[in-house]
Amino acid sequence: MATKYKLTYFDFKARGELTRLMFALGGQKFEDYRFPREDWPKEKSKTPFGWIPVLTFNGKSYCDSMGIAKFVAREFGNGGETSLQMLEIDQVTGIVVDTLAALSKLLFAEESKKAEVHKQSYEETFPKYLQALEKILTENGTGFFVGKKITVADVAVFDSISERIEDSLLSKYPKIKANLKTVAANDRIKAYIATRKQTQNMPTYRYRYFNARGLGEVSRLLFAIAGKDYEDVRFTSETWPAEKPNTPLGQVPVLEIDGKPFSQSSAISRYLARTFGYYGKDDMQALEVDQVLGIGQDVMTDLIKSVYEKDESRKAECAKANKEVKFPVYMGMFEKLLKNNKETGFFVGESITLADLYVFDLYEKIKSMVTLDDYPLFKKCIDHVGSNEKIKAWVEKRPVTEN
């Protein structure tokens, strides 16, 4: 029976393209399964760990983009002929990974810092990596990074920098430039590039809100748990008048997707949850998420009413009613929903969704008015979210703000 290969990834180049290039170089046909980012929620559950690309080989699935590309390269004779050559390949691809991280940092730098990051990238960071690659090519002396023929090391460099680093810098490294031309001139690589589907790159996100958690933090939590890069633009109440005319509806938060702005905090967080795969596995689970969000929004309405009440006596009455009457009712609702979900500590299914993230953020706003020990399942949910490695890392590094 013939070996079967299937690559699953977005309909982008990004992290999936190196493996596609390695299949092309190896002259191997494969199933190039692509899907739009809108379909990620339903595709996510099919992956081993909830991320892509995924290579399915003889019916078993594997993750890690660079690992997949190297495997494909070895399968078809482009992954190094000896253990030492494989080490040399790993050395080059390690530099590639660092370069991509630096490119991502530049791409998603805050607008106010972009010029500074660009200067540092092109004067310090990129030259450091390019000098290392130039040195490797010089020492090998064949025009290739490893041995005497094209390997995954050459293709990885080609895929990562040929269209990303400005030629004004690349031109200072003649051996790299020559290597890039050699890869581009390879018959199989050339044929693939000439016929490959034209796609967009991964979307870029720019998120604009006050330097506060407020109505903006749920979306930041989604970016954090999904491990997605974005530009986190923050401003103060003093600079808000200057920012306001640049918003679609005169309010924030605003999410810009490839430069197009959208408003309404709830709409934004729902979009991100759907796109990143945190809105449930199907329509029924999405309804369960919405049910939790509805209760949470009722809590927020009562909270905001008490916070912004100008009459001090009424303000005190609202706060008292919230603490003694309203919030216990809402907390009871949350506890009931958690119990109905088999006491997993999640509101929907058996993993974190937008519902859990919303409640995690909500608790930060009302914790002075509720006793967590009275609601053990609610506490379990908060602990689940708070102990998630990506959420924990975000909470530890995010700017300290009053609300």
Q: Which CATH superfamily is domain 5-75 in?
A: Glutaredoxin (3.40.30.10)
Token match 């090519």: residue?
137
pLDDT at 1: 44
Q: Same fold for the domain at 5-75 and the one at 83-195?
A: no
CA distances from 261 to 227, 254, 257, 268, 297 (A): 21, 6, 6, 10, 23
Token match 């070895």: residue?
74
Q: Transcribe 9-39 into DSSP letters.
A: EESSSGGGHHHHHHHHHHT---EEEEE-GGG
8 A C-beta contact, residue 6 and residue 20:
no
Is domain 205-397 classified as CATH 3.90.226.10? no
> Residue 226: in which H helix or E strand, if any?
helix 217-226
**CA–CA dist 22, 2 (Å, integer):** 19
- Stated pTM of the model: 0.62
pLDDT at 59: 86
Tokens coding 262: 């959208």
pLDDT at 12: 87
Architecture, CATH, for domain 83-195 = Up-down Bundle (1.20)
**CA–CA dist 111, 310 (Å, integer):** 37
**CA–CA dist 184, 193 (Å, integer):** 9
Closest to 329 in 3D by CA, of 304, 365, 289, 302: 302
In the chain, where are the structural domains located? 5-75, 83-195, 205-397
Per-residue pLDDT of the chain (403 residues; tens, 9 = 90+): 456 899 999 988 889 999 999 999 999 999 999 998 778 888 888 898 888 999 999 889 999 999 999 999 999 999 999 999 999 999 999 999 999 999 988 877 766 677 888 899 999 999 999 999 999 999 999 999 999 999 999 999 999 998 789 888 999 999 999 999 999 999 999 999 998 876 666 678 999 999 999 999 999 999 999 888 888 999 999 999 999 998 999 999 999 988 889 999 999 999 999 988 899 988 899 999 999 999 999 999 999 989 888 889 998 999 999 999 999 999 999 999 999 999 999 999 999 999 999 999 999 999 999 999 999 999 999 999 999 999 999 999 999 998 8
**CA–CA dist 156, 88 (Å, integer):** 13
